Amino acid sequence: MNNKLENVIELQNVHYQIPSDSEVLDIIRACDLRVQSEEIIAIVGRSGSGKSTLLSLMAGLELPTLGKVALLGHNIEESSEDERAQIRAQQVGFIFQNFQLMPSMTALENVLMPLELFQIDNAIEKAHNALEQVGLQHRANHRPAELSGGEQQRVAIARAFVTEPKVLFADEPTGNLDEETAEQIQALLFELNRSLKTTLILVTHDSELAQRCQKVYHLHNGQLVQQDKNLEESND
């Protein structure tokens, strides 16, 4: 049964710096992380701690100033921009706090986008099935402005999972939702993740959401430390 990749994501001594007037700012410092196939991990920390930057480094959207990042067996810093984009397009999904749906497109058309981009067979059927999985088949022809925040995030989840990615990055996926809707979205996210056996990297400042993950890492002063899940977090 065990045909898992040893490490789906691997960070070795990763640093990320940006110049600022007369000095260099260390956003990420000496980060090491290994994530195995089908793991569900949370990265927590205060707003502005660099969580989204770390996610971008893992996904190959940013390159480290120093150190090595491997995503699905590919060394990110040694890959071209086109190669990194190809890895993400075919094997990686994203869910964002602000949904990032195309406002001029219907729910169905938004979910169809990644399927049509890579000319995947039976695209329309798969898009309809994805909307059905998130309970929005009846809203397929509605545009984002006609949907509630929770419905928009469901469409975004359908779009992220429709290509059955090996890795899913979720950046504050419930940050713009009320408590009840957020709980529904969380349950849906974990349910789909289990059924499709996806590796989930969840960035959040919500300690309760983080506790639902298998492992929790705290980003503080640019450094990543694994937390004991039995301890109360205080990252608000």
Give the per-residue pLDDT at 229: 66
Give the per-residue pLDDT at 23: 86
Residue 172: count other Cβ atoms within 10 Å of its Cβ: 20
Residue 96, token pair as written in the block: 């964002």
pLDDT tens-digit map of 170-227: 998 888 888 888 888 888 889 888 888 999 999 988 888 899 999 999 999 899 999 8
What would the mean pLDDT of 39-63 be, rounded to a whole number? 92
Q: Is the pLDDT of residue 235 over 60?
A: no
* Minimum mean pLDDT range among 5-9, 61-65, 85-89, 184-188: 5-9
Backbone φ and ψ for 111, nearest 5 degrees, come out as: -70, -30
- Pairing relation of β-strands 23-35 and 9-20? antiparallel
pLDDT tens-digit map of 86-133: 888 879 999 988 899 999 999 999 999 988 887 888 999 999 999 999
Exposure b/e, 43-67, CB count within 10 A at least 16 = b: bbbeeebbbbbbbbbbbbbbebbeb
pLDDT tens-digit map of 140-186: 999 999 999 999 999 999 999 998 899 999 998 888 888 888 888 88
